[in-house]
Amino acid sequence: MTGPRAAIVGCLGEGLSAQERALFRASDPLGLILFRRNCTDPAQVRALVADFRETVGRADAPVLIDQEGGRVQRLRPPHWRDYPPAAVFGALYEADPDAACEAAWLNAALQAAELAPLGITVNCAPMIDVRDPDAHDIVGDRAFSGDPEVVIPLGRAVMDGLLSGGVLPVIKHVPGHGRARADSHEELPVVEAGRAALARDFAPFRALADAPFAMTAHVVYTTLDAVRPATLSRAVVEGVMRGEMGIEGVILSDDLSMKALSGTLGERAADAIAAGCDVALHCNGEMAEMAEVLDGVPRLSGAALARVEAALARVRRPAPADGGDLLARRDALLAPVLPA
């Protein structure tokens, strides 16, 4: 038994072009990821999502978005709320751990209450990288903390809040982007930390290994694989992520069009799958690149298909949440750490 192709792709605009529909109909990608270029208002997003699902012929085809908060949120005012960065919850945790976890849960439940009615079923959050003071600021305030004992409970709260609202979380970036001194969007970071130091970075992923999705890091960890970035390394994906961390869910590559990786898009996609990733991710919507990625990956089958089906089965349709109540409760908890 086989399923759709092991790829999640983007699109260029606010609606699918005839060319995109033809490619998606012929190649059957697993899902779609949305960016700000694709989102203007709720009615338009709902129509785009419905069109994609009709095109691939699967009502449960996952639709993803990066709605972390702070610098990384694709849906923004005036039609959607502005969300604080993860570091705000980490700051509150230092003073009141229980309040911080409740606020993080409420914040994620609010996000889910906005995403689910649009048909968006996967939010690429929480980011559970452990922040390092000497690292590139691509992580920065997107991370909860530099302490894994703070990251773990806050990451769990976000996971639970999203799931409560019918949206699947994605833990990222496995096995940890927090030490990287370069932005993997622009170049390949190399981390030379030893096993003892990396144990700190691994801890949140091990603790949240039951997440439905996990996204890889385009980072070389010389202790684990001296040559290949984690996304393309079987030693890291199978040995560390599946083996040591016990990650159970779908392993999704980070965006294959990022400059950290080399080779053609088809080669990158094939190498990611060969390394043990279940699904390849391509985000920029460029037609020629998407076609290469889709040609480079197989149809889902076996354990990979089972993991995808198990993840999608966790999407549920909750009763509509009272967004005003969630917002008021969250803001009351965050008041000590938010600007007046």
Catalytically active residues are 185, 254
- DSSP, collapsed to helix, strand or coil, labels residue 80 as coil
Q: Which residue has the tokens 């199978």?
A: 238
- Short-list 212, 126, 203, CA closest to 161: 126
Q: How far apart are CA 249 and CA 261, in angstroms?
A: 24
| Residues 140 and 186: beta-carbon distance below 8 Å | no
The DSSP 8-state label assigned to residue 127 in this structure reads B
The rounded distance, in Å, linking the Cα atoms of 285 and 36 is 12
d(C-alpha 103, C-alpha 156), whole Å: 12
DSSP-derived letter for residue 121 is -
Distance CA 287, CA 177 (A): 29
Residues paired with 301 in a beta bridge: 2
Are 209 and 193 within 8 A, CB to CB? no
87 close to 143: Cβ distance less than 8 angstroms = yes
Q: Can you list the alpha helix ranges (DSSP code H) found in 96-194? A: 97-115, 148-164
Residue in this structure with the two tokens 């192709």, named with its chain if needed: 5
Q: At what angle do helices 42-56 and 18-27 cross, to 10 degrees?
A: 40
Q: Where are the beta strands (DSSP E) in 16-162?
A: 29-34, 63-65, 67-69, 72-73, 122-123
